[in-house]
């Protein structure tokens, strides 16, 4: 079955939002694959927009959301702005492993865009080329998926100077209902883009994945200061309850059945304030170091207080 047929089959079977679909896809199709636009066309568009929205940009922290097997990760790291810190994410573990082997100098992590582990305000720029489209595939969960992703993008972007650039098959008419619900979070500009007819073979054309021939769109989302109550991270509440339960058990001298006994001696207390539990780890070294409040203060990176390596950001620990 050709890669194009596989993609279209997924589109017609409402499976683009499942890890299983993409795990299978990338296990079979490990070659470089660019969606909608070539790397050169994508970078040209990104540079033009950054000159408008972030004209003084240097040393940006960039989230490449849903990276797949695209080599755009190399361009974002080396050619977009000086000293960029790029985090490439995908919720398919096979593709994260594949890209880590292919580009060992770059940073890839498994993340679901609907519920990311990064601390609030971690990134200046988010680049999404098809990820939101996949989440909005014809499914009973499409509205929920889109809402969650837009809320997460808003949460992890720096305000007010952050920006999210979303390449999409769909224009203002298709996105209007979802964006209307997010109007308290975003200022939105919708741009129309033309796709060159002479795509390289490894570029998936817009018409091959359900769009119109040689036409696509770009959403420019600038976060508003006001944060929706509905966009608050419910995981914080669950994590706090879990940690409180753990403290109570340890105070009584017992052990939780889910407690780790693998010899991990990471500090339980935040290394900065020394008052709260450490819930966030330095990225990419993985040292558990900060509570949420302190993690937000050091989200731009620095030198890890445990291992001494330099890190580019922090993210919620999965331990």
- pLDDT given for residue 240 in this prediction: 64
pLDDT for 224-240, tens place per residue?
875 544 444 455 555 66
Residues 152-164: what's their mean pLDDT?
A: 91
The pLDDT of residue 12 is above 80: no
Residues 142-161: what's their mean pLDDT?
A: 91
Longest dimension (CA), the chain: 69
The pLDDT of residue 54 is above 70: yes
- Res. 1 pLDDT band, cuts 50 70 90: very low
The pLDDT of residue 9 is above 70: no
- pLDDT given for residue 167 in this prediction: 94
pLDDT for 68-79, tens place per residue?
899 999 999 999
Give the domains, in start order, of the chain with CATH numbers: 3-230 (3.40.50.150), 258-316 (3.30.40.10)
């Amino acid at each position: 079955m050709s890669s194009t047929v596989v993609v279209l089959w997924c589109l017609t079977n409402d499976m683009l939002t499942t890890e299983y679909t993409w795990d299978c896809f990338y296990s079979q199709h490990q070659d470089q694959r660019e969606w909608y636009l070539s790397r050169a066309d994508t970078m040209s568009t990104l540079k033009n927009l950054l000159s408008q929205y972030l004209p003084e940009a240097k040393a940006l922290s960039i989230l490449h959301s849903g990276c797949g097997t695209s080599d755009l990760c190399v361009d974002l790291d080396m050619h977009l702005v000086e000293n960029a810190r790029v985090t490439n994410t995908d919720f398919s573990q096979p593709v994260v492993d594949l890209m880590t082997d292919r580009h060992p100098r770059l940073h890839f992590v498994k993340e679901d865009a609907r519920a990311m582990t990064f601390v609030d305000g971690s990134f200046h720029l988010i680049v999404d080329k098809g990820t939101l489209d996949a989440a909005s595939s014809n499914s009973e969960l499409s509205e929920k998926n889109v809402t969650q992703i837009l809320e997460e993008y808003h949460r992890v972007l720096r305000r007010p100077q952050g920006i999210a650039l979303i390449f999409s098959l769909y224009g203002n008419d298709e996105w209007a209902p979802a964006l209307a619900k997010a109007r308290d979070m975003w200022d939105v500009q919708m741009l129309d883009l033309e796709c060159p007819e002479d795509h390289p073979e490894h570029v998936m054309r817009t018409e091959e994945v359900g769009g119109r021939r040689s036409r696509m769109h770009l959403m420019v989302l600038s976060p508003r200061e006001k944060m929706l109550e509905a966009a608050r991270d419910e995981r914080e509440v669950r994590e706090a309850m879990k940690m409180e339960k753990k403290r109570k058990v340890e105070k009584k001298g017992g052990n939780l059945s889910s407690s780790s006994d693998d010899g991990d001696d990471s500090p339980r207390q935040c290394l900065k304030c020394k008052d709260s539990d450490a819930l966030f780890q330095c990225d990419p070294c993985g040292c558990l170091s900060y509570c949420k409040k302190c993690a937000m203060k050091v989200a731009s990176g620095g030198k890890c207080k445990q291992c001494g390596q330099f890190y580019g950001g922090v993210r919620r620990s999965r331990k």
